[in-house]
Amino acid sequence: ASGSKTREAILPRFPSKLTLGYVATCLFMTGLLVFAARTCIYDFNDAESSRLDSALAFYGVYHRHPFNQLIHFVGVPIIVWTVTIIGAHIVVVPPPLESSVTISGIFIPKHYLNMGTFVVGVYLAFYCSIDLWGAAMYTPFLYTYYSTAIRWTQEDQQVAASIAKDKPVNWMGTGRLIKWSLILNALSWYMQIHPGHRIFEGASPAVATNIGAAVTTAPLFAFYEGIWFLGFRTELQQKVHALVDQHTVELCNEGSAMRVCNEMKGAAIGDHHSMEALSLKLNELIQNGLMDAVNSNGAAEKHIPNLSVSPESSVDVIVPHVMHSDHFIGYVWLVGADSGDVIEAKQFRGSEPPSLSTASLAPGTKVKAISYCNLHGLWQTDEVIVGGKSEDTAALEEMMKRHSSEMNTIGASEKHTPLLSVVATDEMAVTVSVTVPHVMQSDHLIEYVWLKDLDKDQVLSSIHATPNDQPSLTAKVPVGTRVKSFSFCNLHGLWSGEEVVV
């Protein structure tokens, strides 16, 4: 019993006699808040990504299936709301202090400090600490949960008081509000754990791994699923999905029983997925419509892979992109231009340069390279023919014959001379970059850049540039090779760099 009706001007209030149910509920909710507070302070402090990215990625690993996401999108707000309702019944201020700590607001009648207040406060504090924008957008939802919880709790207590008349009123009021809150709460948990995780996801829920992290992150994740569905904050979505893929592979390599691990066919520990998993990832991105915006969302010179073919018909791909924790190339694929099959692929994490190499391919194979940036989507090269002479190579040889007499004579040398620099080295080969510091306009541009092996009289790598491209290429050549770089301007003809032995 919580005291007589006559002294309950504001309902509910701290009980004059503590009951087992009241104490047990208070202790249970206090335990949840302690777990949540620990998460707010200690978890998601990953040095390689922001706390927001880490928090959403942690939860996203266990919520990959769209039906499971939909269940959580509905169920998680119901759980937060019903917990707030139950917490609104647990007043935490004893009578000597209660009059000095009343709370009220718009659509919120005057009431005493309660466990529901702390529930909403912890969520708001945590979200403000990791994402002010998300906290600001989510605050109206928290406010709605809290205001309805207080109003409905007070209405239920007033009904109980009118029924009890002069008798003490139980802290649960009529009990109907708490009963329906518990039913909805339990149903939401069941829908998430059984259909959501057991059937659709084939994995244990995140709460089984980290209670505090799951409880605090779930509402924000569900909120952002809605935000992403509406097309907002897509850059954050891409970063989180890339981290989810990385963390999923790590869990699978550690022996996780998630269904997605079986789908990935036991990806190898380290820097690579299995080839099948990497092929599935490319197909997933294409099905999600990213190929519709290929080569259009960002700076082409930083995202389009540089593809070069060696005299032995091996292929090297390098992407001249930064590798930061929040902006990186996540994947590179080499695919058959005719078949679309993945020939070679690699996933990247940390500061590893985004590059890959293949063994010798069959002469005449048509290939293209595709890269995926976590912020700017898919990028791809033009088609390249392995072995033999492509149309561009034949055109270059004819061009050199026609313009050799006027090479390096028409125009400003500082704008046309190709510049060769070493990008990377190993015991057997050197990766070089060739760039031309020239404008790229529709009526004045560098049309071709190529690198030639002088000893074998063979073009090692070439590009046919357009006004939207950068006049540059990257090639991997054997140590000791004597090379020379060339460029061709549509107005000022043929230019060459110095002869270099790499």
Helix (H, G, I), strand (E, B) or coil at 279: helix
pLDDT band per the 50, 70, 90 thresholds, residue 271: very low
Q: Residue 391: its pLDDT value, please? A: 46
Q: Residue 250: its pLDDT value, please? A: 74
Does 420 or 460 have the greater pLDDT score? 420
Residue 308: closest CA among 449, 484, 468: 449
Q: Which two tokens stand for residue 49?
A: 């990504």
pLDDT of 178-200, one tens digit each?
999 999 999 999 999 999 998 88
CB neighbourhood size of 300 (10 A): 14
3-state helix, strand, coil in the chain (%, to 5): 45, 20, 35
For the chain, give the longest Cα–Cα distance.
112
d(CA 265, CA 256): 12
Does 469 or 47 have the greater pLDDT score? 469
**One-letter amino acid for residue 97 of the chain:** L
- What value does the mean pLDDT take over residues 284-298? 81
CB neighbourhood size of 51 (10 A): 16
Phi, psi dihedral angles at 211 (to 5 degrees):
-60, -50
Tokens 């208070």 belong to which residue? 26
pLDDT band per the 50, 70, 90 thresholds, residue 9: low
pLDDT band per the 50, 70, 90 thresholds, residue 472: confident
Q: Residue 155: its pLDDT value, please? A: 93
Whether residue 156 has pLDDT greater than 50: yes
Tokens 């389009």 belong to which residue? 304
d(CA 300, CA 193): 44
- What value does the mean pLDDT take over residues 156-165? 88
Stated as kind and residue range, the H or E segment containing 68 is helix 66-88
Q: Which two tokens stand for residue 405?
A: 């007499």
pLDDT of 77-126, one tens digit each?
999 999 999 999 998 888 777 667 788 899 999 998 899 999 999 899 88
pLDDT band per the 50, 70, 90 thresholds, residue 253: low
pLDDT band per the 50, 70, 90 thresholds, residue 387: low
**By the 8 A CB rule, do 495 and 478 touch?**
no
Least confident of 51-55, 332-336, 457-461: 457-461
Mean pLDDT taken over the chain: 83
Those residues with Cβ within 8 angstroms of residue 140's Cβ, 6 or more apart along the chain or in another chain? none
Q: Residue 392: its pLDDT value, please? A: 58
Ranges 18-27, 61-70, 179-188, most confident: 179-188
d(CA 170, CA 12): 9
Residue 157: closest CA among 90, 101, 83: 90
Q: Residue 86: its pLDDT value, please? A: 94
Q: How many CA atoms lie less than 13 Å away from 380 in the CB half-sphere?
A: 20
pLDDT band per the 50, 70, 90 thresholds, residue 351: confident
Residues 216, 222, 227, 230, Cα dihedral to 10°: 180
Helix (H, G, I), strand (E, B) or coil at 486: strand
Q: Residue 5: its pLDDT value, please? A: 39
pLDDT of 391-440, one tens digit each?
456 677 778 888 888 888 888 899 999 999 887 776 667 888 889 999 99
**One-letter amino acid for residue 445 of the chain:** L
d(CA 412, CA 405): 17
Ranges 28-32, 159-163, 385-389, most confident: 159-163
Residue 67: closest CA among 166, 245, 202, 261: 202
Q: Residue 184: its pLDDT value, please? A: 97
Say if pTM beats, i.e. exceeds, 0.85. Answer: no
d(CA 25, CA 160): 20
pLDDT band per the 50, 70, 90 thresholds, residue 73: very high
Q: Which two tokens stand for residue 231?
A: 């097309």
Q: How many CA atoms lie less than 13 Å away from 116 in the CB half-sphere?
A: 30
Least confident of 50-59, 173-182, 355-364, 375-384: 355-364
d(CA 114, CA 33): 13
